Structure formats: structure tokens, C-alpha cells
Structure 1
Amino acid sequence: MDELIEAARAIQDSAHAPYSGYRVGAALETDSGDVFVGCNLENANYSNSLHAEEVAIADAVKNGHREFTRIAVSSSRRDGVTPCGMCRQTLAEFCDDDLRILCDRGDDVREYTLGELLPDAISEATLST
């Protein structure tokens, strides 16, 4: 199994998911090979919850990274979960369309590119036109 998927699986144990029971882990690889992980943190009102992908991105950015090559996402159900629309847009802030997104399906991994999951993302160029 890919070490990025393994890192996403491992961080799920740290998730705070008392309402849904749906634990998610994400592992984000920088262009220099460093890996930052994140897990979901639920809040009773749900809208204040943090997604695993955005926690991983925040940790990487906080540590000075702005370029990424891959992200792996895994849920406790191993259901092939993909980043939600909000997380896709956050990834698009830092990544090109060719960012590889690995989604854990248990026995195998489904791979997408960011461009496949979020075509025509809102970008700085979009805002200036």
C-alpha cells in the first residue's frame, strides 16, 4: 500500500467525530517530499467542523510549504471518499490541475487529478477578469 495512504489511515485515530462516527484522514505531500497530515474535527453545529484535507493544508502552509504533488484521503469506511467541493477549491489555491488525489477504497486506491474533480476552478486569474 502507498505510504501516503498509510499516513492518511493512521491519522484517522486522532479524528474528533463524535456525531457522525465518520473518521477521515488526509496526507499531503509537498514538492520536497515532506508529508503533512490532518484529520476531521467535528463540531456540534457541523458548519464549524474542519475537514481532514484543510487541516493538512493548513499545517503545511503554516510550515512554509506552498507547492504540493499528491494528497491521499481515507475514511474509516474505506469507501473511496474524495475531497468535498470546499476542500477541492482550497487545494486549487495552491495546486495545479495535475495534483494527484489518491482515494482509499480498502483493497485498492482510486486516483484522480484535481482538474478532473474541479474543472474551471475559481482562481486569482478568474477574479481579475
Structure 2
Amino acid sequence: MTCCTKFLLMAITVLSLWLQLSRAYCVYNRLDGADSYFYAKEREVNPRASFKKQINNGESECCPWNNRECNLSGRREVTVDFHITFGFFGASLEGATTFLAFCSGGGGLVLSGNNIFNITATCNHANGNVNSRIISPVQ
């Protein structure tokens, strides 16, 4: 295979991946600790919500923003709310505190931290804006 052919195949792969991700919101686990994970689900405000995922350290899960089971409005710029339950360093989720995080339907939500007192949620919104905040438990 020639150099140009390899480059063309790589460019097609990158373009197809970008097109796929531009049609989805994603939630990323960037917690400290190899065994740290969390369970994320779209908040109960959507009775048909299908985004219910355990996301292990260093992994991510995505869902198409135009799928009304993932995003009730079906629009990229609308806010999607998530309930997040953390299992730091392999701890059980049973009885664990639930937190609220949010991001735009076409964005990427990155969760980072090393305990329940310093969890940061960073949203890379569909419009290119980025905001970070320390999240707190659901009341």
C-alpha cells in the first residue's frame, strides 16, 4: 500500500469518526483511581430515557443527540440532565449519593476528581463553549 493510500484511508477513518461523534453526546470518565467508575443515567424527567450506563475509568459512552430516548427534545443545543452515582476506588454504588450534572445534547461531559467532595463536571457544549463546575449531590 502506498503512502498516499494509507493517508487517504486514515483521513476517511478520522472523518467518519468525527461525523459519528458530531451526532452524539458523550459522557467521559476521567476520575482518579484505576477502579473508580460511575453510573450515569439521563434524569427521570424523560420517561423514555434509555441512557443508563456504567462508565469505567478512562472510558466513555455516547448516545445520539437526535434520539428522543437519549435527549427528549431531539435538539443539539438543549440541556440534558444526568444523575451520576460514583464508585470511587471500586466502592459499591448501593446507598451512594447521587449527583446532578448537565451538558448540551450535542456536547461532551467530562467528569473528574478523586472523591465525592471535589467532582468537576466539564461540558464541551455543542456550540463550542466550555464550562466547568464542582457538582453537588441531588437534594
TM category (shorter chain) comes to 0.3 to 0.5
Structure number with the higher strand fraction is 2
- Of structures 1 and 2, the larger Rg is shown by 2
Structure number with the higher helix fraction is 1
